[in-house]
Amino acid sequence: MTVSISDLLNTYGSPLYVYDLGLIRQQAAAIQAAFCYQPTRFLYAIKANPCPPVVRTLSAAGFGIDAVSPGEVAMALRLGIRPQDILYTENNMTDAEMRQAMDQGVLITCGSLDRLAALAAAGATEAAVRFNPRIGDSEHAKTLTAGPLTKFGIHHSQVDEVLAIERDSDLRVVGCHMHIGSGSLDAEAFVAAMQVILEIAARLTHLRFIDFGGGIGIPYREDQQGIDLPALGARAAALMEDFCASYGRRLELRLEPGRFPVAEAGTLYTTVTSVKTNPAEDGHPARTFVGTDTGFNHLVRPCMYGSYHPITNISRPEAPPQVVDVVGNICESGDIFARDRSLPLPQPGDILAIGCAGAYGMSMASTYNLRPLPAEVVIDGDTVTLARPRTEIADLLDAWC
Ligand SMILES: Cc1ncc(COP(=O)(O)O)c(C=O)c1O
């Protein structure tokens, strides 16, 4: 890539989110090649990054959309995705949201018995059902979405209740769904949960698809290994082949990756504003803080999940490394991107690249402390496109007064 990052920051402001569409295509192709069962349908979990050029890139690669809110459905429709290519995985949806999705012609995956019953009572003839298969895995407890502590899905022991709703209405359960957590690097957990879901699916007689959800993690740390996707894809294919042979019909396999296609393609660039050192005191060694012009309002993952993101000093890569804390400009002590990180010692004005920020970065950003949102730029080869301009303080204030 020959694009100059400092030119981008001069043009669009700092901090700045940059997404590389070429990398997104590569990741999409890798997961598509790995899951060899036919037919397999990929739905992009748009929550990871709803930036329109990102969504269009994945749609052009053949992905449909997994949405979890009316806003995400609306974005997909606005981008020209057909309703039949959108799955709305609900989570405590309202009756009004349900009726709207029905009017939009979008299939709903119900995560509770009462919502399934409400959908049947509203005259829906098709739904998918999300089950909690007991087994989950994720990068953090807050992103674990299966097992006894989670609010998600219908409990695996409640298949009879689902069948009763089907029997007493015109509604047919056409999809059996799971999503066991986000950011998993454990293929065994996926396979174990898939087996539970297929046992449940065997009891549902009207299925068209099995949806194994998203959750595939990426190696954020240099020493982490990604999941062996071809191996996982082959095991999923074997499970599906066996299942379909006894089910009597070939069903579609669905997957809903969000993080995997986009995380590594995104970088949050930020400018160093201050470097200061607290001298050693009370048994604590000296500590150097590298302050930046962004914060957890723009990338909450380190603060919320303790997540590791690679950070590089692109202005001064040859400077002697020093162990520092990289911190933000938000008025909270937890506003820390990295503790005890070895970095070529930055100076004010240097640009830092916070890597693997393409998923759950800007999509979870807020305007806390009345700080505006950064711009988003996409790069495709040598072509740079502004996807969303930086918001201005006036935009924030105008919403109130
Ligand atoms: C229903 C559903 N599907 C897919 C995903 C995507 O997960 P990931 O980004 O970990 O692939 C999520 C994320 O929370 C989800 O809730």
The structural domain count of the chain equals 2
pLDDT per residue over 209-251, tens digit each? 999 999 999 999 999 999 999 999 999 999 999 999 999 999 9
For the chain, what percent of residues have pLDDT higher than 70? Answer: 100
Ligand 1 pocket check: which of 46, 182, 232 to mutate, most ligand atoms within 8 Å of Cβ? 182
Alpha carbon 375 to its chain's center: 19
Domain presence at residue 270: yes
Look at residue 142 in the predicted model and tell me its pLDDT: 87
pLDDT of amino acid 135: 85
The reply to whether 303 falls in a domain is: yes
| Average per-residue pLDDT for the chain | 96
In terms of Cβ atoms closer than 10 Å to its own Cβ (0-12, 13-18, 19+), residue 68 is buried
Backbone φ/ψ region at 317: left (φ over 0), alpha (ψ -120 to 50), beta: alpha
Do 99 and 240 fall within a single domain? yes
Could you tell me if residue 206 is inside a domain?
A: yes
**In testing the pocket of ligand 1, which one of 132, 139, 179, 211 has its CB within 8 Å of the most ligand atoms?**
179
Nearest Cα residue to 153 out of 120, 116, 99 = 116
274, HSE (Cβ side, Cα atoms, 13 Å): 9
Is 335:303 a contact under the CB 8 Å cutoff? Answer: yes
* 182 contacts 214 by C-beta, under 8 angstroms: yes
Predicted TM-score (pTM) of this structure: 0.97
How far is the C-alpha of 140 from the C-alpha of 123, rounded, in Å?
Answer: 39
154-206 pLDDT per residue, tens: 999 999 999 999 999 999 999 999 999 888 888 999 999 999 999 999 999 99
260 Cα: distance to centroid of ligand 1 (angstroms): 10
pLDDT digits (tens, 9 = 90+) for 34-52: 999 999 999 999 999 999 9
φ and ψ at residue 51, rounded to 5 degrees = -60, 125
CATH no. for residue 195? 3.20.20.10
CA 49 to ligand 1 centroid distance, Å: 11
Residues framing ligand 1 (Cβ under 6 A):
45, 47-48, 66, 68, 89, 179, 182-183, 213-216, 256-260, 359
Query: Which residue range forms the structural domain that includes residue 342?
Result: 5-16+264-398
Which residues lie closer than 8 Å to 112 by C-beta, 6 or more apart? 92, 154
Any domain includes 52: yes
Q: Which residues are known catalytic residues?
A: 331
From ligand 1's centre to the CA of 262, what distance in Å?
12
In a 3-state reduction of DSSP, which class is residue 264? helix
| Residue finishing a domain among 210, 225, 257 | 257
- What is the structure's pLDDT at 1? 53
Together in a domain, 200 and 289: no
40 and 158, same domain (yes or no): yes
Q: Are 46 and 63 in contact (CB under 8 A)?
A: no
Are 273 and 249 in a shared domain? no
Chain segment 109-147, per-residue pLDDT in tens: 999 999 999 999 999 999 999 999 988 888 888 888 988
